[in-house]
Amino acid sequence: MPRSATRTLVLMPVAIALNIALGSTVQQALKLPIYLDSVGTVLTGVLAGPLAGAATGVLTNLIWAYVLPPPLQAPTAGPFAITAAAIGLLAGLWGWLGVFRSRRAADPPSLLFALGAAVAVALVIAYTFSRAYTHPGAINVSELVFVAVVTVFILVAAWLLFARRDAGAVLVLAAGLVTGLVAALISAPIAAFVFGGVTGSGVDLIVAGFRTAGLGLYQATLQQGLLSDPLDKVITCLLVFLVLAAMPRRLLARYPNGDRLVRSGSLPD
């Protein structure tokens, strides 16, 4: 058995514990409208591949919902294990593609590539926007917030690309947004079917508001998900990217995906 496999097996439980600790303790301390419970999943996916990332996500949700004793236990997290698996798979994909590689002071081809990726993601967002927010009548709050998030994304991406020339951060930004979109798309049916659109937190009122405005259950949960998931995943991916960029190369190189994370060449990071 290759050496790196043991490392993955050790990484997974540590990442699961990280997810739960961040998602409960730190999230309660900061009281921001984000979940923060996917950092370990993304970390494992990027370092050890899609399967390990997906397994980390699934186990995190299952352990959190059914195995841990109260008051830590969160039964509402169980059915969302599917979303967590998708996040882990995507993170593995980004790691394999080398998206999380540090690319400071990039050369023009890299910048162009990053710009292309950002534009592609913007198109995907526009498409999702047109499909998710189909209703006659006036613009509602969630549409405005979604547009605001997308605008911030474009502004930050432009700043990173042209002012800081940091192509890597733009790619991670785009990857985070795509991950958030996918997570929202998968979570909406789960929230609608298993929970009837209600998970016991304050956002239920938002969902109820959408439903009184005439939206179906799935659309209401989707719109609520599109509010918090993209933001949460973008922040998560950026955090993982920042920490990995600061790690010594020999530490990262030992992981299965390590050679895609570490810039090849003789330049010290």
Partner 1 sequence: MTGAALSLAWGGWVAVGVALLTALAALRAGRIRRLAVAALALAPVAASSLLINALLPAGGGGLTTAVAALLRLLGATLPLTLLFATTEAPDLLSDLEARGAGRRAVFVLGAALAAVPRAQARAVDVIEAQRARGLDTEGSWRRRLHGMLPLITPLIIGSLAEVEDRTMALEVRAFGAPGRRTLLHQPPDSRGQQVARWATAALLVLGLAARAVAVAIR
Based on the shown chain and the rule CB under 8 A, indicate whether residue 145 belongs to the binding site for partner 1: no
Distance CA 254, CA 195 (A): 42
Supply 163's token pair: 């002012």
Backbone φ, ψ for residue 103 (5° rounding):
-135, 65
Q: Which stretch binds partner 1 (CB under 8 A): 85-93, 117-125, 168-176, 201-209?
A: 201-209
Amino acid identity, position 197: G
Q: Yes or no: say if 104 and 161 are a contact pair by the CB < 8 Å rule.
A: no
Based on the shown chain and the rule CB under 8 A, indicate whether residue 141 belongs to the binding site for partner 1: no
Based on the shown chain and the rule CB under 8 A, indicate whether residue 194 belongs to the binding site for partner 1: yes
Residue 222 buriedness (CB in 10 A; 0-12 / 13-18 / 19+) = buried
Based on the shown chain and the rule CB under 8 A, indicate whether residue 14 belongs to the binding site for partner 1: yes
Q: Show Cβ contacts of residue 242 under 8 Å, excluding neighbours closer than 6 positions.
A: none
Q: Which stretch binds partner 1 (CB under 8 A): 97-105, 121-129, 132-140, 235-243?
A: 235-243
Q: Which stretch binds partner 1 (CB under 8 A): 64-72, 92-100, 163-171, 177-185?
A: 64-72
Q: Which of 72, 97, 119, 120 binds partner 1 (CB under 8 A)?
A: 72
Based on the shown chain and the rule CB under 8 A, indicate whether residue 105 belongs to the binding site for partner 1: no
CB of 107 to partner 1, least distance (A): 28
Based on the shown chain and the rule CB under 8 A, indicate whether residue 143 belongs to the binding site for partner 1: no
Q: Which stretch binds partner 1 (CB under 8 A): 14-22, 128-136, 141-149, 167-175?
A: 14-22
Supply 5's token pair: 């496999």
Supply 63's token pair: 């352990």
Distances 199 to 25, 153, 195, 235 between C-alpha atoms, Å: 19, 28, 6, 23
CB of 24 to partner 1, least distance (A): 7
Question: Angle, to 10 degrees, between the axis of helix 217-246 and the axis of helix 167-195?
Answer: 140
Based on the shown chain and the rule CB under 8 A, indicate whether residue 11 belongs to the binding site for partner 1: yes
If you search the block for the tokens 């292309």, which residue do you land on?
116
Distance CA 97, CA 24 (A): 31
Based on the shown chain and the rule CB under 8 A, indicate whether residue 151 belongs to the binding site for partner 1: no
Q: How crowded is residue 123: how many other Cβ atoms within 10 Å of its Cβ?
A: 10
CB of 113 to partner 1, least distance (A): 27
Q: Which of 5, 97, 119, 123 binds partner 1 (CB under 8 A)?
A: 5
Total residues at interface with partner 1 (CB under 8 A): 68
Residues that bind partner 1 (CB under 8 A): 1, 3, 5-7, 9-18, 20-22, 24-26, 29-32, 36, 39-40, 43, 55, 59, 63, 65-76, 78, 193-201, 204-205, 207-208, 211-212, 217, 235, 239-240, 242-243, 247, 251
